[in-house]
Structure 1
Amino acid sequence: MSMTIFQRLIFLRPIRYGGPALAAAFFYSSKPNNQTGWTLRCGAYCAPKGPLDAKREARLECCGEDSFAVVENQFQSVVAVADGVGGWRAKGVDPSKFSRSLMRHLEAIITGTSGWFRRGESPLAFISPTTLIRQAFWRLVGGYHSGKEQPFGSSTICVACLDRSSGTLETANLGDSGFLLLRGREVILQSRAQQHRFNAPYQLTLAPDGNVSDCSHMSAPHGCAVETGDILILATDGLWDNLFEEDVTRLVAMGGEPMEMAKRLALEARRMSEKDDYQSPFSVEATRNGLNRLGGKEDDITVVVAVPQYIGEASVEK
């Protein structure tokens, strides 16, 4: 099966949200910043479901209905993924617009270009992931009601924030996207899917009539201190529905740069999603819910791998 592939390596500096990008393979790297403290060295890889088509290529979309963000300021490094709910397509709504808009607003809050601050003013302190989700969502809702944008729809969201001073990682997850923090082969922290019922995840929703449902306070928060060499994986459900935890751990243990690990995970999940005789995590969960289903689950797959790193005085470029 032919497919659109997007890859990106992000190193230490704010990078724009994962919306429009090259449809072919794309590589990005940047120089280290001039601040001491904890940071995240990140790589992202997207493998949308379905074949490459001229329309998608022309519009330079890379992640299908998924999106992601990697951004940093003086207080925190932030990574996030969002998965637009595909059911809206039957109503004539492009689900990708909602997830991309959500990530764009999240990034704007961290960089100080959001309406939550005066123009050019940056946040004055660490912002928790739950607060980030709430602010990004309500900024999107505000844009809808003011007529500035029309991205109604739904999305799951997973956000991880690393405090650059203390090295504390805080996370919040709403729905069935999720994260896994590894220290070697040991799982230090992980999310659990939140669902109203099987295959019906919690999701931020803005309906055409302006009503909203599911809220940021429903997101599950977690936190712990990181160590150099830990590996954080954030991904949409396209990864978690097709790879078991031990598969993810094994693939990450093969090493490489963050982008290489993200690519390895995404492509293996893509491969397993196309198998009809595979007892996938999704089919296991379906069986638990009384459904007779075998095989992987074809879906957009977006993976962000982030490696915590401490930048000391001696490492800062003069």
Structure 2
Amino acid sequence: MMPLHVEIALLSDRGGRNYNEDACGHWQSERQLCCVLADGAGGHGGGDVASKLVVQGVVSHFARQPSQNGAALGELLRSTNQQLRAEREPGTEREDMHSTAVSLVLDLASGQVHWAHVGDSRLYWFRAARLLQRTQDHSLVQTLVDAGLLDEAQMNSHPKRSELRSAMGLPDEDLEVSCGDGMQAAQPGDVFLLCTDGLWEYLDAEVLERSLAAAPSQQAWLDTLAAEVRRRTAHKNSHDNFTALTVWVGAA
């Protein structure tokens, strides 16, 4: 297989909130790309501290010891969770900070892909502008969908869509981490999207596919997604931060 080349674009918007609790970043060597995105919670500034700690923790751990599969990346998230909990300070804004996390690793030589996540920030994998795979949220509404009690199309508007089963900051024994390895290698033309719930809540898979197919560039695609979120939240006084990181794959 020919080596892969990647292009990365970022979008982060505080939406209708006073400050942005989302964070994202990436690390790349000649062989591997690691991307991570986090959505913090905790109030009074604790959320933005938590999300930054998660991104910095995952990137620094990975740079020291790159993961080779989803299970190893999941353990890296658990190590980062211990680091986040160690940074808590009773009586301050850091007392009860939590964060979601989603991380993607792409081997640029083999095309192998693996990922891990906690919470409801998502990874989408597109091929030929059609959704190939996405992560499943650790949330109440995802549990209802899995049990056949709720249709997936109803997830975005459910009143309890923000209730999480798992988040970074929980004790190790309560932390639910999901990880995966791609059933096939990434190919030139594939697109990955990591995003927070502030984005996917307003944009279903059909909107993502249609806008991706029409986009002349990755930044144009993100601009379109941002404009659509703003349009759909124009009636709200306060809507969530929204953040996206996209990776477009080509041949080196």
Counterpart position of 2:165: 202
Does residue 186 of the first structure (1) align with residue 130 of the second (2)? Answer: yes
Give the one of 105, 109, 112 matched to 2:57.
Answer: 105
Deviation at 1:218, TM superposition (A): 2.8
3-state SS of paired residue (1:234): strand
Give the one of 95, 103, 121 matched to 1:159.
Answer: 103
Q: Is the 8 A contact 1:173 1:221 kept in 2?
A: no
Whole-angstrom distance in 1 between the partners of 2:68 and 2:214: 34
Whole-angstrom distance in 2 between the partners of 1:185 and 1:164: 21
CA deviation digits over 1:209-241, x for unaligned, max 9?
xx56742x5324242311101111110001110
Larger mean Cα displacement after TM superposition, 127-136 or 186-195 = 127-136
Q: Is the 8 A contact 2:106 2:112 kept in 1?
A: yes
Q: Amino acid of the residue matched to residue 29 of structure 2?
A: N
Deviation at 1:253, TM superposition (A): 1.2
* Cα distance change on mapping 1:151 and 1:268 into 2, 3 Å: farther
- Aligned residues, how many? 226
Give the one of 217, 220, 231 matched to 1:257.
Answer: 217
CA deviation digits over 1:121-140, x for unaligned, max 9?
xx366364323322322233
Whole-angstrom distance in 1 between the partners of 2:95 and 2:56: 12
Deviation at 1:110, TM superposition (A): 2.7
Q: Provide the alpha-carbon RMSD of the alignment.
A: 2.9
Whole-angstrom distance in 1 between the partners of 2:191 and 2:238: 25
Whole-angstrom distance in 1 between the partners of 2:137 and 2:77: 17
Whole-angstrom distance in 2 between the partners of 1:256 and 1:305: 14
Counterpart position of 1:221: 180
3-state SS of paired residue (2:33): strand
Whole-angstrom distance in 2 between the partners of 1:139 and 1:308: 32
* Cα distance change on mapping 1:73 and 1:127 into 2, 3 Å: farther
Deviation at 1:252, TM superposition (A): 1.1
CA deviation digits over 1:150-173, x for unaligned, max 9?
575111111111022310111223
Whole-angstrom distance in 2 between the partners of 1:299 and 1:125: 32
Counterpart position of 1:131: 75
* Cα distance change on mapping 1:172 and 1:100 into 2, 3 Å: same
Counterpart position of 1:309: 250
Counterpart position of 2:46: 94
Whole-angstrom distance in 2 between the partners of 1:205 and 1:213: 12
Counterpart position of 2:35: 79
Whole-angstrom distance in 2 between the partners of 1:105 and 1:127: 18
Q: Amino acid of the residue matched to residue 235 of structure 1?
A: C
Larger mean Cα displacement after TM superposition, 74-83 or 298-307 = 74-83
Q: Which has the higher helix share?
A: 2
Counterpart position of 1:41: 7
Q: Is the 8 A contact 1:43 1:260 kept in 2?
A: no
Deviation at 1:66, TM superposition (A): 0.7
The 4+ residue runs of structure 1 with deviation greater than 6 A are: none
Q: Is the 8 A contact 1:47 1:300 kept in 2?
A: yes
Counterpart position of 2:231: 271
Does residue 234 of the first structure (1) align with residue 203 of the second (2)? Answer: no
* Structure 1, gaps ≥5 residues long: 1-35, 57-63, 113-122, 277-295, 312-318
Whole-angstrom distance in 2 between the partners of 1:37 and 1:155: 34
Higher relative contact order at CA 8 Å, sep ≥6: structure 1 or structure 2? 2
Deviation at 1:205, TM superposition (A): 4.0
Q: Amino acid of the residue matched to residue 303 of structure 1?
A: A
Q: Is the 8 A contact 1:206 1:213 kept in 2?
A: no
Give the one of 24, 32, 48 matched to 1:68.
Answer: 24
Counterpart position of 1:284: none
The alignment-based identity, stated in percent, is: 20
* TM-score, structure 1 as length reference: 0.63
3-state SS of paired residue (1:274): coil
Counterpart position of 1:3: none
Q: Which has the higher Rg, Structure 1 or Structure 2?
A: 1
Q: Amino acid of the residue matched to residue 3 of structure 2?
A: G
Q: Is the 8 A contact 2:101 2:168 kept in 1?
A: no
Q: Is the 8 A contact 1:67 1:99 kept in 2?
A: yes
Counterpart position of 1:282: none
Q: Is the 8 A contact 2:5 2:249 kept in 1?
A: yes
